[in-house]
């Protein structure tokens, strides 16, 4: 299973891609940051983040997208930009029929270190150790994206968040395909007349 982790942000949106194999063996695939220029109008920044996320999803074709849940901060603008970036990741995944899971930073810390209040350096070290990396992933946004992907891979088997949604998406996709097929037949019949 390919897991696409997202640490949402408007200036730097972290992306981490891992593979979860048999016996929960995790392998590193990719880490990067999708950036937008803070001096650009916000609508264009959002477009830049969205296009970057779409390109990454199209390149790695994940089975699930795991996104860090936005939490309240004192800076309202930061929260707003982070929430918008998370929404863009959800939209890009939904357009591709990819299930989405959302995890809090505390869930991620607990899954990776066993401590829901772990320090950032502890997280970076454990992410590197779990994925067999020779150095700590940089920048912090990229490390957080890998952590969110790892968190999703290590969640208890009974806590599959995307299961129902995955079935719903599959049903929705079937309905769209059937509707498109009917529309195609109708158009063909009209052309034959």
Residues assigned a catalytic role: 7, 68, 141
SS3 at position 104: coil
141 is annotated as contributing to ligand binding: yes
DSSP helix/strand/coil, 139: coil
Check whether 43 is labelled as a binding-site residue.
no
Binding site residue list: 7, 68, 141
Binding residue numbers for Mg(2+): 7, 68, 141
């Amino acid at each position: 299973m390919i897991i696409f982790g997202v640490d949402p942000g408007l200036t730097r949106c972290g992306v981490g891609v891992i593979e979860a194999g048999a016996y929960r063996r995790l392998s590193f695939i990719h880490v990067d940051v999708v950036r937008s220029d803070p001096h650009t109008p916000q609508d264009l920044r959002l477009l830049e983040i969205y296009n970057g996320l779409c390109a990454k999803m199209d390149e790695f074709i994940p089975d699930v997208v795991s996104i860090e849940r936005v939490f309240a901060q004192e800076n309202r603008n930061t929260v707003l930009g982070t929430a918008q970036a998370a929404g863009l990741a959800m939209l890009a995944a939904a357009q591709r029929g990819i299930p989405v899971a959302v995890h809090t930073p505390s869930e991620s810390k607990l899954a990776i270190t066993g401590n829901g209040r772990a320090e950032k350096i502890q997280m970076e070290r454990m992410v590197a150790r779990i994925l067999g990396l020779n150095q700590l992933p940089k920048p912090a946004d990229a490390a957080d994206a890998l952590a969110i992907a790892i968190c999703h891979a290590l969640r208890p088997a009974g806590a599959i968040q995307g299961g129902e949604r995955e079935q719903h998406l599959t049903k929705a996709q079937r309905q769209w395909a059937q509707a498109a097929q009917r529309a195609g037949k109708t158009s063909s019949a009209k052309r034959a007349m």
